[in-house]
Amino acid sequence: MQDYKKIDHEKNKDVVLRYIPGHFITPNSHVNYYMDLSDMKARQREARATGEELADLYLASEVIDTILCINGTEVVGAYMANKLTKAGMISANRHKTIYITSPENNIIGQMMFRENNQHMIKGKQVLVLIDAATTGSTLKSAISSIRFYGGTPVGISAIFSVATQIENIPIRSLYSTKNLPDYASYRSDSCPLCAKNIPIDAICNGFGYSTVQ
């Protein structure tokens, strides 16, 4: 694969979006850019900067009791919660703190929570945190799961997002198609890159990518 390109965040030099143009398969679509958010999710300095910038989007927001982390965003979520609690974000939890949790996927791909974790969702105001929101399929599943377990989804936070809302819930992101205006996501059965016989560069998911060439 070719070298990464990058976009620096307008306010924080430690928040860097790395991406590669090409032809990539994700669990829900084909896309023309691979977003490499691994350092933002796992490198302490970048994760802290990313979490704090995301928190700034919610400082004057509604009550947040729980941050539901999707695709390995737990470290970012923890820094986000730390910034929110330091800034005096209201929490309805007894200990006045914010839960950080992740869902488990059952054998048919539905998001679920074991009995010992359900209290983090039931009766809670839940913010969904995801690395990249493209087709919205994963977010719809997360919202459905929150409601099933008795929680209330109050917002969606993303590092990169194509959409601005899902099911009337606003998405607040650090990067969007304003930064990559030619970003495109296609259904697998109607992908113009496939129609042009452009080779697939890699298969991607929330853990990363595997090249196929």
Q: What is the CATH number of the domain that holds 183?
A: 3.40.50.2020
Nearest to 125 by CA among 159, 161, 89, 160: 89
Task: Please say if the pLDDT value at position 34 is more than 60.
Answer: yes
Q: What residues make up the domain containing 45?
A: 5-211
For residues 174 and 161, the answer to whether their CB atoms sit within 8 Å is no
CA distance 47 to 55: 12
* Total of domains in the chain: 1
Instruction: Look at residue 208 in the predicted model and tell me its pLDDT.
Output: 85
Task: Please say if the pLDDT value at position 91 is more than 60.
Answer: no
Per-position DSSP letters for 40-84, written without gaps between them:
HHHSHHHHHHHHHHHHHTTTTS----EEEE-SS-HHHHHHHHHHH
Residue with tokens 């695709």: 71
DSSP state of 140: H
- The tens digit of pLDDT for each residue in 165-200 reads 999 999 999 999 999 999 999 998 999 999 999 999
